[in-house]
Amino acid sequence: MKKLFVYFYDEIDFKQVFKNPKRWVGYSFILFFFVIFALGIVYLDQIDQFYKNPIPYFEPDSAKLFKDVNLSLGRKVEGVKIEYIKNPTEAMLKRGEEIFRTTCSTCHGESGKGDGIAGKGLNPPPRDFTKKDGWKNGTSIAQIYKTLQEGIPGTGMVSYEFLSPSEKIALFYIIKSFSNEKSEVSDKDIAELEANYKVTQTYELPPTIPIGIAMSKIVNESQEVQTKANSISNLLNDNYIMQFIEDKEKFSAFLVNAKRTPNELEQLLIQNYPLNGVSSKFILATNQEKQLFIEKIKLMSINTN
Ligand code: HEC
């Protein structure tokens, strides 16, 4: 007990500290403790400020992330002759140059260094074709074809799928011409190209229509149905017909859409009940009554056509 006291006495005796300055090192830990404790209190007190983000959270408009298709008529896309993959024709290369000059050079630069005006400020920047490093897909013909076909998602490099196989292959040679690398194409590359993209096969591109236009077409068509239905609805004043009808509007719309051959009409009238606006009375009617109803409808339809 006495020993312990002597030990602490030494420590508490400040004269010792001044005699032997190295002892400050020990005391400094206590100081650190208080400093960190004080910082902790300030941190907890100001925690709202630490978490406050001066830049408001921005969520991209999900409607704009959706990419609509272009309006295009269907067309035939010619496959490339297999021998042209290794030895492109003059005409192919010329076309490739033209596409590069008009489309790609705005970002990738006239000499492929990635220094085009439209590429400034893009992150990641457009690829410098004269450099070997940093390629995401790679530099083989199959890899460059993949880049052109699919683009690099999330970057300025969009898909150029609409170019024909021979144009995409020509672009590979144009890209290669910027570096001093040889544009070697192995049989394995060709097999890979053919397996993934069927480049030698001619195929039909189906026509496409942007959603906006498709929707307005649907609206127009349904407006047409609506006007026709209205004119039919005005003609539906025969008492015999009306006794079998529950909802005049639904029934007129049904008539516009239904084929007007009497046999099928009877079937449709029963199948689509009650959506087509006929009443249960029609379902329960005798065959004779049904026939008369259909005859009258037929006569009326002829009048509206
Ligand atoms: C709007 C600007 C822009 C245009 C136009 C553009 N590119 Fe790109 N391209 C980029 C960007 C940005 C990258 C880099 C993407 C990355 O690093 O992920 C890139 C990368 C590439 C790559 C390298 C892919 C890889 O493996 O890293 C190739 C090849 C390429 N582009 C070819 C073309 C061709 C050919 C055209 C014209 C048909 C074209 N680009 C048009 C912006 C563009």
- Placement of tokens 């060709």 in the chain: 190
* Residue corresponding to tokens 């999900």: 62
Closest CA to 142 of 85, 204, 103, 202: 85
- What pLDDT score was predicted for residue 296? 87
Four-point Cα dihedral 210, 215, 220, 221, nearest 10:
100
Average model confidence (pLDDT) across the chain: 86
| Residue 77 scores a pLDDT above 90 | no
Q: Which residues have a Cβ under 8 Å from the Cβ of 75 and sit 6 or more positions away?
A: 204, 205
Q: Is the pLDDT of residue 260 over 70?
A: no
* Closest by CA position to 149, among listed 171, 127, 128, 130: 171
> Which amino acid belongs to residue 103?
T
Q: How far apart are CA 30 and CA 39, in angstroms?
A: 14
What pLDDT score was predicted for residue 65?
64
Task: For residue range 84-107, list pLDDT tens digits in order.
Answer: 999 999 999 999 999 999 999 999
Over residues 186-205, mean pLDDT: 91
Q: How far is CA 133 from CA 127, 150, 172, in A?
A: 10, 21, 17
Q: Return the number of other C-beta atoms located less than 10 Å from residue 270's C-beta.
A: 13
Residue whose Cα lies nearest atom 43 of ligand 1: it is 157
What's the confidence (pLDDT) of residue 115? 93
**Confidence (pLDDT) at 133:** 87
CA distance 256 to 265: 12
For residue 101, give the amino acid letter.
R
Helix (H, G, I), strand (E, B) or coil at 71: coil
The average pLDDT across 120-143 equals 91
Q: In which band, very low, low, confident or very high, does the pLDDT at 252 lie, cut at 50, 70 and 90?
A: confident
As a whole number of Å, the end-to-end CA separation of the chain is 119
Ligand 1 atom closest to the Cα of residue 135 is 27
Helix, strand, coil % over all residues of the chain, rounded to 5:
60, 5, 35
Which residue's C-alpha comes closest to atom 22 of ligand 1?
Answer: 127
∠ at Cα 103 (117, 214), nearest 5°? 115
- The Cα–Cα gap between 211 and 128 comes to 37
Write out pLDDT tens, residues 23-52.
778 778 888 999 999 999 999 988 887 777
Judged by DSSP in three states, 287 sits in helix
Residue in 157, 164, 177, 178 to alter for ligand 1 test, most ligand atoms within 8 A of Cβ? 157
CB of residue 152 inside a 6 A radius of ligand 1: yes
Task: Give the span between the Cα atoms of 81 and 122, in whole angstroms.
Answer: 37
pLDDT tens, residue by residue, 1-24: 667 676 666 666 767 777 777 877
Most confident of 65-69, 115-119, 202-206, 220-224: 115-119
60 vs 161, higher pLDDT? 161
Cis peptide leading into 274, omega within 30 of 0? yes
* pLDDT average, residue stretch 202-216: 86
- CA 79 to CA 62: how far, in whole Å? 37
155 pocket-lining for ligand 1 (C-beta < 6 Å): yes
Q: Give the pair of three-digit tokens for residue 48.
A: 């709202």
Q: With H, G, I as helix, E, B as strand and everything else as coil, classify residue 109.
A: coil
Q: How many CB atoms lie within 10 A of CB 78?
A: 13
pLDDT digit string (tens) for 228-244?
Answer: 888 888 888 888 999 99
Instruction: Check pLDDT > 80 for residue 269.
Output: yes
In a 13 Å sphere around the CA of 270, the CA atoms on its Cβ side amount to 13
pTM value? 0.57
Q: What is the largest CA-CA distance in the chain?
A: 127
Contact 60, 124 (CB under 8 A): no
Query: Does residue 168 line the site of ligand 1, with CB under 6 A?
Result: no
> Among 97, 103, 127, which residue has the most ligand 1 atoms within 8 Å of its CB, making it the best to mutate?
127
Fold classification of 75-205 is Cytochrome Bc1 Complex; Chain D, domain 2 (1.10.760)
Rounded to a whole number of angstroms, the CA Rg of the chain reads 40
Q: What residues does each domain of the chain span?
A: 2-51, 75-205, 211-304
- The pLDDT of residue 7 is 67
Rounded Cα gap, residues 158 and 176, in angstroms: 20
Residue 126 has pLDDT above 90, yes or no: yes
